[in-house]
């Protein structure tokens, strides 16, 4: 399981791989958190259940990461602990631990403005699944 930051001329992308699709979603969220904070510490204080509907797993992945970005921008809460509880063809249910954003403690590294569908495909590999996701920053 891993994520890796990939150079993109104007924006930034993450290569993500995991043994299962729920873990792929968790890794993607960790990658998003890395873009935001790199290696700064972040300890969740409150858990929330997030439920999303989508056309397929790719659209659920975009919605999942968009949800975390929306919560950060509007509620100033940084998502930092992730557990996918259920993943079906068009439904995602996950438990997310959030920490309040504190400008004195957290220096935001990348302002993730949106999550794109650019060339987005979740592909099966010999070890599980992989995908690449491009963020608008």
Partner 1 sequence: MIELHQISECVWEIPKTGKMLVPGRIFASAKLIHDIRKDKSLEQVMNVATLPGIQKYSIAMPDIHWGYGFPIGGVAAMDVETGVISPGGIGFDINCGIRLLKTPLTVDKVKNKMKEIVAVLFNNIPCGVGSEGVAKCSTKDLQNIVKKGAAWAIENSYGLPSDIDHIEENGCLTQASLEFVSDRAIKRGALQLGSLGSGNHFLEVGVIDKIYNSKVAEAFGLFQNQITIMIHSGSRGFGHQICTDFLDKMQTALKKYEIYVPDRQLACTPLASDEAHEYLSSMAAAANFAWTNRQVMMHKTREVFESVLGVSQHEMQLLYDVCHNIAKFETYEIDGVQKKLCVHRKGATRAFGPNVQETPEKYRHVGQPVIVPGDMGRSSFVLVGTEKAMNQSFGSSCHGAGRQLSRREAVKQAKGRAIYRELEDKGVYVLSKGRHTLAEEMPQAYKDVETVVDSMDIEGLTYKVARIRPLGCIKG
Question: Which stretches of the chain bind partner 1, using CB under 8 A?
Answer: 5, 7-12, 54-55, 58-59, 62-63, 66, 70, 72-74, 76, 107-111, 113-120, 134, 136-137
Q: Is the distance from CB of 42 to CB of 97 less than 8 angstroms?
A: no
Rounded to 10 deg, the angle between the 57-75 and 21-37 helix axes is: 30
What is the rounded CA–CA span in Å between residue 4 and residue 40? 17
Closest by CA position to 79, among listed 91, 65, 68: 68
């Amino acid at each position: 399981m891993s994520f890796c930051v990939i150079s993109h001329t104007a924006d930034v992308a993450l290569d993500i791989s995991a043994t299962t699709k729920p873990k792929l979603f968790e890794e993607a969220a960790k990658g998003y958190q890395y873009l935001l904070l790199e290696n700064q510490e972040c300890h969740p204080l409150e858990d929330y259940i997030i439920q999303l509907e989508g056309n397929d797993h790719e659209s659920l992945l975009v919605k999942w990461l968009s949800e975390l970005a929306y919560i950060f921008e509007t509620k100033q809460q940084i998502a930092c602990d992730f557990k996918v509880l259920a993943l079906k063809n068009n439904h995602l249910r996950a438990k997310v631990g959030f920490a309040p954003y504190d400008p004195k403690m957290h220096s935001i590294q990348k302002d993730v403005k949106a999550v794109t569908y650019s060339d987005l495909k979740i592909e099966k590999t010999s070890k599980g699944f992989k995908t690449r996701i491009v963020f608008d920053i």
